[in-house]
Amino acid sequence: MSISAAKTRSLLEKISRRRVLVIGDAMLDHYIWGNATRISPEAPVPVVEVARDTYVPGGAANVAVNCTSMGASAQLAGVIGDDDAGVRLRAVLKERGVKSLPLGGKGPTIIKSRVILQHQQLCRLDREAPPEAYRIDAQAAVRRLRGAIETSDAVIFSDYAKGLISNELIAAVSKVARDKGLLVALDPKPKRPMDFSDLDLITPNRSEAAQLAGIEWRTGRPFPAEEVCRRIHQRHRVKFLVVTLSEDGLLLSLEGRVVRQIPTAAREVADTSGAGDTSLAAIVLALAVGADLETAAHFANAAAGVVVGKLGTATATPAELVAYVSHRP
């Protein structure tokens, strides 16, 4: 099964009336584009002649702009510093139709700078503070966000393990969201113990899913899908579990039972940066308008297929999605 152009158009039309609140680690993705034709006399490294710099939203900010790119309304709650990068990030968010909601915190704006030579990534430079700088008071955050939560159709926690997302924040926001009947999703980074329950959707990768299940697993070994899904449901009572399997597609689970695995939809891969953010946004939007899990996953797979065909952190538009599922260039 795949998703048809007609079904994609129907979902996109419904999505255009939905509102999403994204809470998470906001970042600014900085791309340094250039060429290298000689080696430095100081060290055996290329000398990069910079042609241009571009800036796009990254992390949780990328999830939010993917929501607006597909037609929904989105607000982003995160820690954005009062610095040059913060000014630039707020500006690019505004350009993409995303309203930013400050949550306090003392950390500077997180920046990921990638040096790109002849369409190949040479290196990445990260600028950020320790997690303590991005921690916030959960109850104070809920007081700030209550209005945004109550006027949304879905809440997405986008966790990049930078310090903002905590068990307390998930619990406090989820209680308000559940009282309003909203869909609540989490893209987890279980580098520390995570204590959450009764969420509608989580989207870990293979390694993260094994950690959440309390199972030791290493790349190259068979993935114990049924045991992982069963244990995660027992521990966290999640309704929908979507495990991202990289080139192997998506593993779908409903209330602890493996539903099926669907293959990746990507036809050409230029850059996988941000593809997980696109997939998360798409699957939440599809579920929020009443799609079943398999349909939502195929919609998300198509959206990810669009963005990996682009260089750099990117989004998928309705026209690109319809063209993609129609197998048009």
According to the model, what pLDDT value does residue 1 have? 55
End-to-end CA gap in the chain: 21
Domains of the chain: 5-27+57-109+129-325 (3.40.1190.20)
According to the model, what pLDDT value does residue 329 have? 47
According to the model, what pLDDT value does residue 274 have? 74
Judged by DSSP in three states, 280 sits in helix
Give CA separation, 165 vs 81, 88, 230, 299, 323, in Å: 17, 23, 25, 27, 36
Q: Convert 286-319 to b/e letters by CB count within 10 Å (16 or more is b).
A: bbbbebebbbbbbbbbbbbbbbbbbebbbbbebe
Q: Where are the beta strands (DSSP E) in 220-324?
A: 240-244, 250-254, 257-262
According to the model, what pLDDT value does residue 265 have? 67
What pTM value is reported for the model? 0.94
The Cα–Cα gap between 123 and 147 comes to 41
The Cα–Cα gap between 303 and 320 comes to 9
Helices (H) and strands (E) counted in the chain, each on its own, are: 10, 13
* Residue labelled with tokens 């909203």: 182
> What are the 10-residue block averages of pLDDT along the chain, 329 residues in total?
90 97 97 94 95 96 97 97 96 96 92 92 96 95 96 97 96 95 95 90 94 89 93 96 87 95 73 82 97 95 88 88 82
* Catalytic positions, written as ranges: 277
Answer yes or no: are the C-beta atoms of 158 and 79 closer than 8 Å: no
The Cα–Cα gap between 110 and 134 comes to 10
Q: Length of the chain in residues, anyone?
A: 329
According to the model, what pLDDT value does residue 328 have? 53
Q: How far is CA 98 from the centre of its chain?
A: 15
